[in-house]
């Protein structure tokens, strides 16, 4: 990955999602490793501490290890933690300390106040993809409004653990319901602003190889709407 070219505009598109190291695209709703790679290289230096509190299959932590950063990953689902553990088992010359915890992003009791250099995370998009059937506080089981209420707790907790002058980044998409758009992205961003974060960037990320595209194509034609083909990456900071 020498001479890796960083993004330099507010529109990102990765037609080739990236499958270097142990990355695989098979965890539902995973993000391309290009996303954490860009955010980590722009907003941290070697040995900094990164938090992904919705770690999923560990994409962010793999990038942290490759880039010689320390990292903490949290997920509420054992399945995600097992996959992450497996994918982090690769040899490296770096001395990164990578820790995984089972926990709830709303209550990060294992993390001290003002201790994280970068938050780089990717919550569920309300209940668009359900990651479990009945795990308590699994935010992927929540409807739109309930999800936003719980993200209020998450943003307060992220504000607590982030160092002053440091960045919190997350990716999220909108929802199409009965033909109309529920603006989950901007509503979640507003929750973070309400809790003290300041907005640095809104990045539009083009979606590729979306599993549901074929299903939506027919519906879009019948109901006369555009297919949602973007997500947002919000970058905010704590003053």
Taking the complex as a whole, the smallest distance from the CB of residue 23 to ligand SAM amounts, in Å, to 9
Taking the complex as a whole, the smallest distance from the CB of residue 2 to ligand SAM amounts, in Å, to 24
Taking the complex as a whole, the smallest distance from the CB of residue 186 to ligand SAM amounts, in Å, to 18
| Closer residue to ligand SAM in complex, CB, 49/80 | 80
Please, are residues 84 and 53 in contact by the beta-carbon 8 Å criterion? no
**Number of residue whose CB is nearest ligand SAM:** 56
| Closer residue to ligand SAM in complex, CB, 49/73 | 73
For residue 107, the Cα-to-chain-centroid distance in whole angstroms is: 17
Interface residue list for ligand SAM (CB under 6 A): 27, 29-31, 53-54, 56-57, 59, 74-77, 80, 104-106, 122-124, 131, 137-140
What is the maximum alpha-carbon separation in the chain? 55
| Helix or strand holding residue 17 (H, E) | none
Taking the complex as a whole, the smallest distance from the CB of residue 239 to ligand SAM amounts, in Å, to 26
SS3 111: coil
Taking the complex as a whole, the smallest distance from the CB of residue 132 to ligand SAM amounts, in Å, to 7
| Closest residue by Cα to residue 231 from 184, 175, 168, 172 | 172
- Region of 132 please: left (phi>0), alpha (psi -120 to 50) or beta: beta
| Closer residue to ligand SAM in complex, CB, 145/221 | 145
| Closer residue to ligand SAM in complex, CB, 198/210 | 210
What DSSP assignment string belongs to 169-229? EEEE--EEETTEEE-HHHHHHHHHHHTT-EEEEEEEEE--S-TTHHHHHHHHHHHT-PPP-
| Closer residue to ligand SAM in complex, CB, 172/236 | 172
């Amino acid at each position: 990955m020498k001479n890796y070219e960083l993004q330099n505009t507010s529109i990102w598109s990765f037609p080739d999602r990236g499958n270097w190291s142990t990355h695989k695209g098979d965890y539902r709703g995973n993000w391309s490793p290009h996303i954490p790679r860009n955010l980590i290289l722009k907003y941290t230096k070697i040995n900094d501490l990164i938090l992904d509190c919705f770690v999923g299959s560990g994409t962010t932590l793999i990038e942290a290890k490759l880039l010689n950063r320390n990292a903490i990953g949290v997920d509420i689902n054992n399945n995600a933690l097992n996959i992450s553990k497996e994918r982090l088992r690769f040899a490296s010359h770096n001395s990164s300390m990578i820790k995984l915890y089972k926990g709830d992003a709303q209550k990060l009791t294992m993390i001290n106040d003002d201790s994280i250099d970068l938050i780089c995370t990717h919550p569920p998009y309300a209940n668009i993809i359900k990651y479990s059937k009945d795990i308590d506080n699994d935010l992927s089981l929540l409807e739109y409004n309930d999800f936003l209420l719980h993200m209020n707790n998450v943003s307060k907790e992220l504000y607590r653990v982030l160092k002053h002058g440091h960045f919190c980044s997350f990716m999220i998409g909108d929802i199409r319901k009965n033909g109309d758009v529920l603006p989950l992205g901007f509503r979640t961003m507003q929750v973070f602003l309400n809790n003290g974060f300041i907005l640095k960037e809104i990045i539009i990320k083009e979606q590729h190889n979306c599993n549901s595209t074929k299903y939506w194509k027919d519906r879009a034609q019948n109901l006369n709407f555009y297919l949602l083909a973007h997500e947002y990456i919000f970058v905010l900071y704590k003053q």
